[in-house]
Amino acid sequence: MRYVFFSCSIVGYVIFLAFVQGAWAFSDPDAFYHMGMATHLLEFGLADQFSGLAPTTLGQHFVDQHFLLHALLAPFLWLMTPVVGTKVFVIILLLLCLGTFGWMLRTGQVRGWWIAVGLVALANPWLFRLNLVKATPLALTLLWLSIIVLVKKRYWWLTIIGFVYVWTHGGFILLPLVVTAWCLTHKTIVPLLCTLGGIILALL
Nearest to residue 100, comparing CAs of 48, 72, 68, 137? 137
Span of 56-60, 156-160, 165-169 with lowest mean pLDDT: 56-60
The vertex-81 CA angle with 79 and 83, nearest 5°, equals: 125
**What pLDDT, on a 0 to 100 scale, did the predictor assign at position 79?**
93
Q: How far apart are the first and last CA of the chain?
A: 51
How many CA atoms within 13 Å lie on the side-chain side of 65?
10
Identity of the residue numbered 2:
R
- Of residues 55, 57, 60, 62, the one with CA closest to residue 37: 62
- What does the alpha-carbon distance between residue 63 and residue 133 come to, in Å, rounded to a whole number? 19
What is residue 5's predicted lDDT score, i.e. its pLDDT? 66
pLDDT at 53: 67
pTM of the model: 0.87
Confidence of residue 61 (pLDDT cuts 50, 70, 90): low
Please say whether the beta carbons of 168 and 139 come within 8 A.
Answer: yes
How far is Cα 117 from Cα 101, in angstroms, rounded to an integer? 7
* Stretch among 86-100, 123-137, 169-183 having the lowest mean pLDDT: 123-137
Cα 137 to Cα 94: distance, rounded to the nearest angstrom: 6
Mean pLDDT in residue range 127-152: 92
pLDDT recorded at residue 176 = 95
pLDDT of residue 38: 92
Rounded CA separation 45/35 (Å): 14
Whether the Cβ atoms of residue 66 and residue 34 lie closer than 8 Å to each other: yes
Mean pLDDT of the chain, nearest integer: 87
Percent of the chain residues past pLDDT 70, beyond the cut: 90
